Amino acid sequence: MLPVSRQELLQQRIDKIKQQIAALGDLRPGALSQQYNVCGNPSCRCKATPPVKHGPYYQISVKRHGKSTSQFVREPDLAEVQIQLDNYRRLRELVDKWITLSSEISSLRIRQLRRADGAAKTKRKSQIPKENANGRRESRRT
C-alpha cells in the first residue's frame, strides 16, 4: 500500500466536508428569541401583581447585508425553524474548517514550488528598480 501524502489527506477531508455541506438541507441564519409582552389594558393579568405577561412569542432576528430584520415564528413551526438554524450554524463551522484545510494545502503547494525552484537553482532578479546615491531610480535593463 502506498503512503498517502499530507496534501492528499487534506483533500480527502475537504471532500468529506463538501459531502456534509451538500446533505445539510434548509438553512436559516439568525437567532431565535422568546418574547413576553405587556399590553395596554389596565385590568389585564399582565398588569397584576405579580404580572403574568402574554407569551411566549418566538422571534428570529437576522442581520444580512447591513440590515437588521426580525420575524415572528409560530409555535408549530418552532421545531423546523430550529433545525434550519442548526443547519446554518453547521454550514458556517464546515466552511471554516474547509478554509483552514484549503489554506494548509496552499501552504504545502507553495513549499513544494520553493523546493522545485531551489532544486533548479534559478535565482530571479527583482523587477523593482533601486535608488542610487542621488535618489534617482536605476533601471535593471541592459
State the distance between the two ends of the chain, measured CA to CA, in whole angstroms.
55
* pLDDT confidence of residue 114: 85
Listing DSSP states for 50-87 in one string gives S---EEEEEEEEEEETTEEEEEEE-GGGHHHHHHHHHH
52 against 1, higher pLDDT:
52
Q: How many CB atoms lie within 10 A of CB 37?
A: 10
Q: Would the CA dihedral through 57, 63, 69, 74 be positive or negative? A: negative
84 against 126, higher pLDDT:
84
* pLDDT confidence of residue 1: 52
Res 17 pLDDT > 80: yes
Percent of the chain predicted with pLDDT > 70: 81
Res 69 pLDDT > 70: yes
94 against 125, higher pLDDT:
94
Which grid coordinates are listed for 99?
478554509
* pLDDT confidence of residue 115: 83
Delimit the domains of the chain by residue range. 6-113
* pLDDT confidence of residue 118: 75
